[in-house]
Amino acid sequence: MSVRHWVVTGGLGFIGSAFVRQVLCERPEIHVTVLDAMTYAANPANVADVARDPRYRFVKGDIADPAAVDRAIGEGCDAIVNFAAETHVDRSILDPEAFIRTDVVGTHVLLEAVRRHAVARFLQVSTDEVYGHVEEGLSTEDAPVRPRSPYAASKAGGDLQVLAYHATYGTPVLITRGSNTYGPFQYPEKLIPLFVTNLLEGATVPVYGDGLQIRDWVHVDDHARGIAHVLECGTPGHVYNLGCANPRTNLEITQRLLELTGRDWKASVRHVTDRLGHDRRYALDASKAQALGWAPRVPFETGLEETVSWYREREAWWRPIKSGEYKAYYERQYAHR
């Protein structure tokens, strides 16, 4: 069994930590170094179950800092998987600058490190949001990139550099573009964890506009498994969509979460001012990743129920988050709506 070393940036975040837990539990030949800047959404508790594994190493640092990236790579590594990103659309509307630094400059710094250290594979974890709003049909990987939020534009900026490095230098890159992801350990600023924790606390939930926007949902474990699969089996220079064709309107999600938490629509739902430039619909065609051998396993209904149970049982995880920086953010984001 040949030992391999993967550097996972953003490994203390939501999808990154699911990937780290999965790899360390299921792949004994792989050693993991997490490089994470420990900004607000990172949480060491997300990897507590695996942090004592001798195959796990942690480096605190920013992907936009070449010295930190060099420290993480150490004597060399076989692959870098880039989960490190600012990811929340609403925060990008309030304050786009951090998105440019991490998602654009950070990606550039990683690509340069891949060249300098001759890393065999670089996988950029991206998002369906780079395709922009999709009126009808599904986005395939060759659909034009038409980002419409500062967040989506910063991710598209990262993706375009990744593809340009492949064309120019032959850098062995891959990109995955996932759809909206849900599951345990998700910071409660995104729709599902925000609504679940608010409902469990007895608070109201803020539905933007008419709530008829459509998102396609993938479970975090399926998403993480898809990324590992593309890393090992994908063709360098290619993009792979990871989605499950589970379209739901936000109102449908809200209704289901009310049922699962035993709360009542009238007392709990508040329609608030819509998000600026709000994309109405995302929809991915994931047949290319499926042809490569990836198949999502978690049915949406089961995944959602388990996620609600997880948040119900893990108050100790989310309560401290909802008190600190989060409170100021929530006030800034929602008080005027």
13 is an interface residue for ligand TYD by CB under 6 A:
no
CB of 94 to ligand TYD, least distance (A): 13
Interatomic CA distance for residues 42 and 102, integer angstroms: 14
Catalytic residue check, 75: no
Q: Which of 62, 86, 103, 129 is catalytic?
A: 129
Closest contact distance (angstroms) between CB of 6 and ligand TYD is 26
Q: Is 199 in the site for ligand TYD (CB under 6 A)?
A: no
Report the side by side order of strands in the sheet with 121-127.
56-60, 30-36, 4-9, 79-82, 121-127, 173-178, 238-242
- Of 59, 153, 194, 283, the residue at the interface with ligand TYD (CB under 6 A) is 194
Provide the strand spans (E) within 37-134: 56-60, 79-82, 121-127
Q: Where are the beta strands (DSSP E) in 164-232?
A: 173-178, 180-182, 205-208, 214-219
* Contact string (CB under 6 A) for ligand TYD, positions 125-154, x = contact: ----x-------------------------
Q: Answer whether 61's CB lies under 8 Å from 8's CB.
A: no
β-strands 214-219, 247-249: how paired?
antiparallel
For 193, residues 6+ apart whose C-beta sits below 8 A from its C-beta are 182, 186, 187, 311, 318
Q: Which of 131, 151, 182, 311 is catalytic?
A: 151
- Alpha-helical (H) ranges within 14-82 are 14-26, 66-73
Q: How many residues bind ligand TYD (CB under 6 A)?
A: 13
Q: Which residue stretch of 35-43, 98-106, 188-196, 290-298 sits at the interface with ligand TYD (rule: CB under 6 A)?
A: 188-196
Residue from 158, 172, 206, 234 in contact with ligand TYD (CB under 6 A): 206
One of 59, 153, 191, 242 touching ligand TYD (CB under 6 A): 191
Enumerate the active-site residues.
Answer: 128-129, 151
Interface residues with ligand TYD (CB under 6 A) are 89, 129, 180, 190-191, 194, 206-208, 213, 215, 250, 275
